Amino acid sequence: MVEIGLSSTIEPQQLLDLMRFRHSSRSGYVENKPLSDEQIETILQAARVAPSAGNAQPWEFIVIRDRDTRHRIADLFKHQLRDKLELERTIRKSSRIGASIGWRFAPVLILVVGDPRTSESFPLRTLEDKAESHFISSLANATLQMMLMAQCMGLGCQYISDVASPYFSLMLKHLLDIPPQLRVYHLVPFGYVSVAAEPSSRRPLEAMVHYERYDRAKERTAEDIQRFLQEESIQSKNYQWGGSKTPTSQDDP
Ligand SMILES: Cc1cc2nc3c(=O)[nH]c(=O)nc-3n(C[C@H](O)[C@H](O)[C@H](O)COP(=O)(O)O)c2cc1C
């Protein structure tokens, strides 16, 4: 039993189960079932207490509930996919990229933005060689904590990282009046979902853990990586329709 704070306790297995059953929900959001202010605040509190490098807390969160704005953002997403798909089709001869816009119907979007000026809290050497990775890792921590909280509350959510690309982030800054010095990181839709998230696979623990020193018997060859990419990574999946091959009525074509 792990003691958290003075009174609250949580079983390790409970926390592990929560993490295990969290999966990206890419379809089935129920638009007409809004989240309460309290639910949103609880999700944001989870982000607020995340660890950050140098306790820089680079994050700010934009909560978007307005239907027109949400759908405008989904339209922007769809628009910016053209380049992305063209690159995949032309160079890789593939269209297997995450293009699901099921989240169009999520009642709440939270945009995570970061202020790189907070990296000044790092020691000089860290600032020189790790400012970028520390900034991103810190934003990632806050994002994941929100997602775990959503799982705890029985809500679906997913990552939308395309928002950080130049076109999309500039358009979002314009649409949402975000100051230019901030950086757009991830967009996370939250909501009740009518379909279970598609479970994703994980490599077995024994394949990734080494005791005392690196176990060369577990070193992966280039072929092992290729097999992994083909069989287990998202390259092996077509989640155009939210993980399944069949579009649901709420998915956007
Ligand atoms: C940094 C990062 C960026 C991601 N970007 C996207 C994204 O843009 N769209 C998407 O559908 N999923 C995105 N994902 C979700 C991953 O594809 C997903 O977590 C992974 O396939 C494992 O599936 P699970 O979340 O269902 O466990 C992202 C995840 C991470 C950590």
Nearest CA to ligand 1 atom 17: 234
For a mutational test of ligand 1's pocket, the pick from 158, 185, 186, 231, i.e. the residue with the most ligand atoms closer than 8 A to its C-beta, is 158
Q: Distance, CA 232 to ligand 1 centroid (Å)?
A: 13
Element (H, E) at 179: none
Distance 26 CA to ligand 1 centre (A): 10
Rounded to two decimals, what is the model's pTM? 0.92
Residue pointed to by tokens 């091959």: 245
Look at 40-54, 176-190, 223-237 and tell me which has the smallest mean pLDDT.
223-237
At residue 100, the pLDDT reads 79
pLDDT value at residue 15: 96
pLDDT of residue 237: 66
Nearest CA to ligand 1 atom 22: 200
Strand partners, 190: 108, 157
- 92-108 pLDDT, tens per residue? 888 676 677 999 999 99
User: Is residue 173 within 6 Å of ligand 1 at its C-beta?
Assistant: no
Looking at ligand 1, which residue's alpha carbon is closest to its atom 14? 159
pLDDT above 90: percentage of residues in the chain = 81
Per-residue pLDDT tens for 44-66? 999 999 999 999 999 999 999 99
The predicted pLDDT at position 28 comes to 96
186 vs 184: CA distance, rounded Å: 7
User: For 150-164, what is each residue's pLDDT tens digit?
Assistant: 999 999 999 999 999
Is the shortest distance between the CB of 25 and ligand 1 below 6 Å?
no
Distance 212 CA to ligand 1 centre (A): 31
Report residue 146 CA to chain centroid gap: 9
Ligand 1: distance of its center to the CA of 25 in Å?
10
Contacts of 9 (CB under 8 A, 6+ apart): 1, 2, 3
pLDDT digits 0-9 by tens, 71-96? 999 999 999 999 999 998 999 888 67
Residue showing tokens 């690159």: 87
Task: Kindly report the length of the chain.
Answer: 253
Mean pLDDT for 111-135 is 97
pLDDT above 60 (res 30): yes
**Structural domains in the chain, sorted by start:** 9-195 (3.40.109.10)
Can you tell me the mean pLDDT for 215-244?
Answer: 79
Average pLDDT over residues 122-141: 97
Tokens standing for residue 214: 């690196």
Average pLDDT, the chain: 90
